[in-house]
Every structure is written in C-alpha cells, then in structure tokens.
Chain A
Amino acid sequence: MGEVLVITSGKGGVGKTTTTANIGTGLALMGKKVVMLDTDIGLRNLDVVLGLENRIVYDLVDVVWGNCRLKQALIKDKRFENMFLLPAAQTKDKTAITASQMRELCANLQEEFDYVIIDCPAGIEHGFKNAIAGAKQAIVVTTPEVSAVRDADRIIGLLEAAGLKAPKLIINRIRSRMVQAGDMMSIEDIMDILAVDLLGIVPDDDFIVVSTNRGEPAVLDERSLAGQAYRNISKRIMGEEIPLLNIQEKTGFWQKIRQAFGNR
C-alpha cells in the first residue's frame, strides 16, 4: 500500500506544481515507484513542468468517466521507468469529477505505487475538495509573503477540518539576502505563525525558471540549490532525518573585503 500525498497552498503562484514535479521526480530518483496526478482540470501544467506534454492521449477525466483504462492514461516518464503522470483534462472544468470518484481513483493507484502525489489547484472550492478527497497526508506550500502565509493558515484549517491531520509545510522562494536585511520573514517568523511541522525550505533559485523552460525538474540538477532542497525534502518524505539546507548565499571576494572593514 502506497502513500497518497496532496500538495496544496490556497494561493496560486506559490509553486505547487513545481513542488509536485520535484518531489515526485525526487522520490523516483530514490528508486520509488511514483505517480503524479494533476487535478487542475482546465488549467493543467504539471505535464509541461515535467516535459511530458507531447505524450498525452488520455487524461484523468477519461479514466473517471470510463473512456479508457487507468493504465492507458498513465504517461511513463522518459527519464525514469518508475515514474508516471496522470494529466488533467484541459477542455473540461473542475465539476467534471466528484470527490468520491477521486477517492476511488486514489485507492486504485495506491495499490500499484509507493507514492501517489496530487497536485491541487489554487482556491478552496470544488477543485480543492476533489484533490484532497483521496489523500492521506497533505503538504502545504507557502512563500514568505503576507498573502501566501495567510492563505496557508486557512488551508491548514480546512485540511484539518477534512480529517487530514498534521499537514506539513514547505516554505518556498526564500531570499536569504532579504531575510538577513530584515525585509523578508524568516523561517522562524513563519513557523511562529503557522501551527504545523516544517517539511523543508526552498531558496529562490533562478535555475527553477531554466528547469521549467526545459521541462527538466531542478531536483535532477546536482548544482542547483533548489534541487538540493527538493532532494532533501524527498528523503524526509521517505522518513530520513535530514538537517535543513543552509541557503545563505556564498559571499564573494568584494563582500569579504567589505566585511573585513566592519560592514556586513
């Protein structure tokens, strides 16, 4: 029996899809059999982030409606034998499926895979309710901004009300230089506010844009700091104890000289 995890945030644009793609790929990299589900019906994007957009024949709605068998809709990744995507339908909307259909689908996938990772749409309506219906655990993604943290708090409440106890938090797009200058909330500030456990932190990394351009998740790149962060998170999901990533930017030559003269 595999684990069913939903990646959610409430607010849009904080990195749910990127997080899903990197955690899914990270777990596959560690040898786990993984399927990722895009439940953002009508606005699918997980396929392009994973670079699998050209292989879609059937989608999640086709499976639920019985237009095809589950196996026919699963897209096998080009890099990993053990990684699959079930894409969202692009021409329907969130009401095309129900919560009980999602529960049944997740139960079926759970038999076959070590990890079922669900990419949740933004918002708290029908799409959100469907996405969390079949999940046993939830990961909440936020960024160090007032609006994102507020929405994360709301989502945590809704998840707990729906029986998804103890959701875990990922703080995305941390800019250490701004944190040091006091112009961005730190990890501690956010943890003071949100009553959940921290699963990981991800630095703001230009490489994420490059990796999305190419359809190659950053977790596969050894040099990317965000990639390292996602590898750590994947290991923590597998139960390993990994210390938090040090995301302080390396100081350059001139910065060191400045520091030597007493200015940080």
Chain B
Amino acid sequence: MPFSDLINRFFGKEQPQPQNSPSKNVAKERLQLVLVHDRSDVSEKMMENLREDLIAVINKYMEIDQKSLDVSFSREDGAVALIANIPIVRIKR
C-alpha cells in the first residue's frame, strides 16, 4: 500500500472508484443524441420518406432486403451519424 493511501485511510477519505468513464461523459453523450432528435424535429413521416428514397436509389444497383432495412441516428466518435443498415440480397449486373 502506497504511503498516500495510508494517509487517506487515516483521514477517512474514500478510495476513488475505478470507473471506465466519468458519469458526466455519459450525460453529455446522451444529451447530444437526444438533442439531435429534438432539434431536427425529425418526424416519422420524414424518416419514412428517407427510407423510401434510399430504397429507390439503392434498388437501381442492387437488390436489398427492404423489410430488414434499418435507418436510425447514432453517436460515433463525438459526432452524430445517420446509420443505415441495408442487407443486400443480390448485386444487379
């Protein structure tokens, strides 16, 4: 036990909890994500239109599984991203 720990014990100071990420980072990330939705006022209708347009464009080049297509917002590396998961059935030649 290092000497500083002894001193801390003596003064009754709690040991710092080992944590992966301070809770304020969690707060900030959650806020940024929720604000993307709040700010853009993204309606269900708009997301649906986006989905349909995406399908129309991609369909020109490849056959996709339209039922499993998923479009959503996500946070990646400090920025907000639009993530589209589009399973491909077959490439058109």
Task: Tally the A-B contacts, defined by beta carbons under 8 Å.
Answer: 53
* Complex contacts, B32 vs chain A, CB 8 Å: 193
A184 nearest in chain B by CB position = B24
User: Which residues of A are interface residues toward B (Cβ below 8 A)?
Assistant: 145-146, 149-150, 153-154, 157, 179, 181-186, 189, 192-193, 254, 257-258, 261-263
How long is the Cα–Cα vector from A192 to B4 in the complex, in angstroms?
36
A153 to B36, CA, bound (A): 11
Of B6-14, B48-56, B66-74, the one contacting chain A is B6-14
Q: Please indicate the chain A residues that have their CB under 8 angstroms from the CB of B75 in the complex.
A: none
Q: Is the CB of A183 within 8 A of B31?
A: no
Whole-angstrom CA separation of A192 from B25 in the bound complex:
12
Given contacts A146-B30, A258-B7, A258-B8, whether A153 and B25 have CB atoms under 8 Å apart is no
Given known contacts A254-B11, A258-B8, A150 and B24 CB-to-CB distance under 8 angstroms: no
A254 to B31 Cα, complex, angstroms: 37
Which DSSP category, helix, strand, loop or mixed, fits chain A's interface? helix
Q: With A146-B31, A186-B24, A189-B24 in contact, is A154–B7 under 8 Å at CB?
A: no
* Interface positions of B from 8 to 55, Cβ below 8 Å from A: 8, 11, 13, 22-25, 27-28, 30-32, 34-35, 38-39
> Is there contact, CB below 8 Å, between B4 and A182?
no
